Chain A
């Protein structure tokens, strides 16, 4: 990895010294001592507690609320309902743009999903507010619930995911299938899943006249601010959102949710600060989820195993009142070479909350189906699953024909397979047992996620005392922005990390774009990188124009910033400190501004994706069907790695989500009531520590000169993709039973002959 990066517009460069270092988290001490202040940890004076009452029906209207009983409960201050909720400047049902979703802010008495907020009880204590919400004892006029992938007539939405076309056709799929030596057609089902960040959505809101201060977890501070400002009819500058730490987000905190906004509305109503924290069961409704899918994969292959056709259809659901479509088929656009690829999507409307982006949206659901189907086809061709994937390796992006900006997937396969010990794996299933007689299976999945960038801004300052400041409204939901972005900023300013003040997590700072889509480090990092370059450029201009500087006249050769010094590129013995330059110029500081965004020209020419290969071992009890993912090795290539320690953690987390996708998590909906019957953490199973005894992540070197100036792709989501399929394929290899409904339960595995 080169340690010097070219700058976009200047001959000036700086050496990297922080980037690439496996630093521990800069916020680590705060987090291990309990001092990191999450939204619900705030207690402004005069604070009241608000608790939502939510609907227990999925469709109809609220006919009665026992307001008297709630208000009579000692400590209850107010009950906010559609009848008395303060007016808002915007209709919550009015879409404000493509990433704006309809909100339930007590605009009427209609109910459109179970778990929808129908009232807010505000009280002096949490206990009183909680009981007040119970005492409302709503009565409803219920209508029949529409639920399930067959709930109504399917339609083709205008766009899926973040704006992909619902149908993509490349080549002649029917000819490819007709001419194939091997064909498979299989249907896979994935359930509704809920993000379930450990931190429930929370807000502490206070008003000062028409100015609003909120502490609330947000993956997108600027969007949250704009949404609040729009709804309250105030200027964005009058909304201050603080979110220094998120207790996880995974997509559910990307857009400010209805309940969070209701906390601010409640504060406005009572004229005192209000804290509103969702109860865990209330996380299964108004804050989004991953929609269920049914996916049909049709594959054809030539006698030598080369794919001749790949058709991927997804049926999904959206809410009755808004549009978000899980783009599960999109993963098939980019991963395997095939002369014919068709992806199609349709959907039905159901009475649930609106689905939303959830870690690896589209790709996670699509990957488990595609990787299962690829495994099925490898078997049909009598080929090792790795050999089959290499046979169908996409040298260019299959549909677009674009070259990849970088793609070290082959190396991921090689390193992962070697580390895992894949060689010698028997082709046939049910061949391996451990010393205790448990069935052992090995499976493989290819991981992929697009390298996305949003728009972001940053500000960087060099100060006369030799220190620096970098700031932007970046969000750390656990991925490590406090650390990784500071590393980028320090390098961009040519400062050791210890001399850098780094600010983030506040809407008053420059808009750093959303922390999502695995695009935050690339976007915010590029903004910081260019802000630093801007500041260094200004400092260099001061020095080079000053006869008293040893850098005078270095213009053509350029300078390098390192350890608080500017040095002549052609003679590093000549240079001086930032402080000296500023001091002589009589300036307290120089300021740089930076912008991060995708390079449209580069995108025109290159396909940009991170890749990986995940190898999984599972053990299955042959009689009881209980499964444990005993060993996972993932090898990932995602461009430049800013902080390998944090990146490994991202991969581990993603891989565990993959295990969870394949084996554990599933929302159980009662089709009659529309209620999630396991809306908790006891029965909605996410993996526990004992579920993942062995994880390894290999960081495969990949230098990408095109994706952005830092060469950074994203790492937050790719770990799920590949992993879920690898586990599913390992279950097949252990048992000979091909799982096609996820998560895989014991009942799927006990049908076979015991023992």
Chain B
């Protein structure tokens, strides 16, 4: 790890001013940043420690029924907030399926949204990686890429975004409050991450020095609470990144889906909102045929970026599963194994 200057601003304004100097990076919990610095992937010259700025870690239930969450709130604290978990159960489930209890206790929401890809070639500083070093190439192409992207990738980059939290946030229309030198603006979570295209190093729409202050969920997002789930396929039962994952929310009236929310994780450089699939579900009965059609629609554009064609089929299936679970109803209490296929479902699960 390189030496760096350490700056501890007391206010957001101070922080933004400090971060204006090139080579600066915001330090939240550091669960991702310090890891990347230890690996030599990132070598910031200045760390702007935003942990001591008061007021950035609150959960505010807004008069309009929405909720505003400070970006410095720890993942575990959001998941443990009973009101939040009741109104946004799929988000709580996604939070609790990520990383480990220790990391969730430290990691902030803002940090979670901005965490970097787990692509091994991004982490391996001896490999070519356009995301880490623009123009150097992509060693993941033609490399070990069975876990890489199947949607939205480009020849320049086939990495995926690893966040669980972002998947239901994208599905349920979260927005972000962002502050920079030019003031405050709002960005939809769905628009935060960029697809790689020709410039995979531009991972988000944040300008240098911009800081995520808060996350908002609209009141409407809570209307899915009775039928909202997150499910995650992993290569071990816990403490692993998703091979693929999916968040689903349904509004059901009279045996028909009036509105659906769907997003996939582990498939692209951003959480992948499946709007075509959502549209396909509107007005349809919540049954296997509808879910299958939705999954087909969601993956219509998918193509393998390497040895990962199987992920396309898995993504279809996990969407169907997420929808099936959502239709069955949100459980009273989150299962012992959140988002796991091994979590029991009250009343049994409708496997073929």
Chain A residues within CB distance 8 Å of chain B: 56-57, 74, 127, 130-131, 134, 433, 435-438, 619, 621-626, 628, 663-664, 668-670, 672-673, 675, 677-678, 682-683, 685, 687-691, 745-747, 750, 754-755
Contact = CB atoms under 8 A, between A and B. Distances in A.
Contacts of A663: 236
Given A690-B237, A746-B243, A683 B310 contact: no
Interface in B198-242: 233-241
Dominant SS among interface residues on chain B: loop
A747 B120 contact: no
B143 A672 contact: yes
Interface size class of B (residues with CB under 8 A): 35 or more
A575 B318 CA distance: 77
Interface string B104-135: 00000000000000101100101100000000
A130 B37 CA distance: 11
Contact of B126 (A74, A623, A675, A690): A675
B342 A754 contact: no
9 contacts: A435-B348, A438-B342, A623-B317, A626-B340, A628-B342, A687-B236, A745-B146, A747-B146, A755-B352
A53 to B, nearest CB: 12
B344 interface: yes
B345 interface: yes
Contacts of A675: 124, 126-127
Interface string B31-71: 00000000010000000000000000000000000000000
A97 to B, nearest CB: 36
Interface in B313-333: 313-314, 317-318, 320-321
Nearest to B292: A754
Interface in B235-258: 235-241, 243
B3 A131 contact: yes
Contacts of A745: 146, 235
B124 A626 contact: no
Contact of A624 (B233, B238, B344, B348): B233
A624 B239 contact: no
Contacts of B10: none
A746 B238 contact: no
A664 B337 CA distance: 18
A682 B240 CA distance: 7
B102 interface: no
Given A682-B240, A690-B237, 15 more contacts: A134-B40, A437-B350, A624-B317, A624-B318, A664-B236, A670-B144, A673-B139, A677-B120, A677-B143, A677-B144, A685-B235, A690-B238, A746-B314, A747-B310, A750-B314
Contacts of A134: 1-2, 40
A528 to B, nearest CB: 40
Contacts of B2: 131, 134
A57 B351 CA distance: 48
A438 B120 contact: no
Of A134, A624, A685, most buried by chain B (CB within 10 Å of CB) is: A624
Given A672-B143, A677-B143, A623 B351 contact: yes
Contacts of B40: 134
B314 A624 contact: yes
Nearest to B120: A677
B293 interface: no
Contacts of B348: 435-437
Interface in B269-285: none
Contacts of B351: 433, 436-438, 622-623, 755
Contact of A56 (B126, B146, B320, B340): B126
Contacts of B121: 677
Nearest to B119: A677
B69 to A, nearest CB: 27
Given A673-B127, A683-B120, A745-B235, A690 B337 contact: yes
B308 to A, nearest CB: 9
B82 interface: no
A688 B236 contact: yes
Residue from B237, B240, B317 with most neighbouring chain A CB atoms (10 Å): B237
Given A664-B236, A672-B143, A687-B236, A678 B120 contact: yes
B299 to A, nearest CB: 14
Interface string B334-350: 00010011101100111
Contacts, number: 119
A670 B341 contact: no
Contact of B341 (A626, A689, A691): A626
Nearest to B309: A747
Nearest 3 CB-CB pairs, A to B? A755-B352, A437-B351, A56-B126
Contact of A691 (B126, B143, B237, B313): B237
B143 A435 contact: no
Contact of A626 (B120, B234, B241): B234
A232 B239 CA distance: 44
A747 B314 CA distance: 8
Nearest to A130: B1
Contacts of B240: 682, 685
Contacts of B233: 624-626, 746
Given A131-B3, A623-B320, A746-B310, A436 B349 contact: yes
B236 A436 contact: no
A624 B321 contact: yes
Contacts of A625: 233, 314
A731 B221 CA distance: 40
A678 B119 CA distance: 10
B214 to A, nearest CB: 29
Contacts of A626: 233-235, 340-342
Nearest to A629: B237
A677 B348 CA distance: 40
Contact of A750 (B3, B142, B317): B317
Interface centre among A436, A668, A672 (most CB of B within 10 A): A436
A436 B321 CA distance: 13
Contact of A628 (B237, B317, B318): B237
Contacts of B3: 74, 131
A619 B236 CA distance: 13
Contacts of A127: 1
Interface string B1-28: 1110000000000000000000000000
A521 B234 CA distance: 39
Q: Max chain B CB contacts within 10 Å: which of A127, A670, A688?
A: A670
B141 to A, nearest CB: 11
Contacts of B341: 438, 621, 624, 626
A127 B341 CA distance: 42
Interface in B297-319: 310, 313-314, 317-318
A473 B124 CA distance: 41
Nearest to A626: B341
Nearest to B244: A624
A688 B237 contact: yes
A668 B120 CA distance: 10
Contacts of B243: 746
B143 A670 contact: yes
B352 A131 contact: no
A366 to B, nearest CB: 24
B307 to A, nearest CB: 9
B311 to A, nearest CB: 8
A625 B127 CA distance: 31
Contacts of A437: 348-351
Q: Which of B2, B126, B236 has the most CB of A within 10 A?
A: B236
B321 A623 contact: yes
Contacts of B126: 56-57, 673, 675
Given A668-B120, A670-B144, A754 B236 contact: no
B348 to A, nearest CB: 6
